[in-house]
Chains A and B, each alone.
Chain A
Amino acid sequence: AQKITQTQPGMFVQEKEAVTLDCTYDTSDQSYGLFWYKQPSSGEMIFLIYQGSYDEQNATEGRYSLNFQKARKSANLVISASQLGDSAMYFCAMRGTYGNNRLAFGKGNQVVVIP
């Protein structure tokens, strides 16, 4: 079974600054995938970035980067140059090797960007 832990309290971030959202995970699978999703108040889950467990380089997608530390089982999301539209809940999720490829989610991090 996979377990995702996101324990940071809600965060206020100044516009144009960077923010790091913590995610730790636990799994016995050798091969797995890690995802970050953004959920604005409207409810839809928006895919941000993906990191495979065997990827040697940290994933980047525009202003999003994933700081993947496999030995520490952490997959922190870094958002650079925050924008007001980044205000949302952010969820870390994991997909295991076998079975149905279901995602296991953490409880999320609330981010509010202030001007």
Chain B
Amino acid sequence: DTGVSQDPRHKITKRGQNVTFRCDPISEHNRLYWYRQTLGQGPEFLTYFQNEAQLEKSRLLSDRFSAERPKGSFSTLEIQRTEQGDSAMYLCASSLISGSYGYTFGSGTRLTVV
């Protein structure tokens, strides 16, 4: 297992287009998290899954955002009708339920909306 993988690494899109990002967590990790990081800030929580169930969504996650984890393995984050304010780094992390350690982050997807 090579850790948490995110694809693509970079995405440039025009305002109004839809984009989808993928995250492949560490295989034995039950929990999967999405964070958003804007320039000069720390990551902010967006949503998380325990297995295939999406258990919490931040109020930062507008109706244009949707996330899925269909079989409790990989996850996708879709942004519809992108806006310039969506430009950010989108980070995925996974952990075990009992994890005091074990938050492993991916390298992120950097989204630029032009």
Q: Which residues does A use to contact B, with CB under 8 Å? A: 4, 33, 35, 37, 42-47, 50, 52, 91, 93, 95, 99-108
Task: Tell whether, in the assembled complex, residue A103 and residue B40 are in contact, meaning their CB atoms are under 8 Å apart.
Answer: no
Among A33, A47, A91, A99, the residue within 8 A (CB) of B42 is A91
Q: Interface of chain B, helix or strand or loop or mixed? A: strand
- Nearest CB to that of B3 among chain A residues? A44
* Among listed B18-26, B63-71, B73-81, B98-106, interface-contacting one: B98-106
Among B48, B100, B107, B110, the residue within 8 A (CB) of A102 is B48
Residue interface bits B90-112, CB-to-A below 8 A is 1, else 0: 01010101011101111110100
| CA of A35 to CA of B102, assembled, Å | 11
Q: Which residues does B use to contact A, with CB under 8 Å? A: 31, 33, 35, 40-45, 48, 50, 55-56, 89, 91, 93, 95, 97, 99-101, 103-108, 110
- Nearest CB to that of A89 among chain B residues? B42
Q: Given A105-B44, A108-B42, A44 and B100 touching (CB < 8 A)? A: no
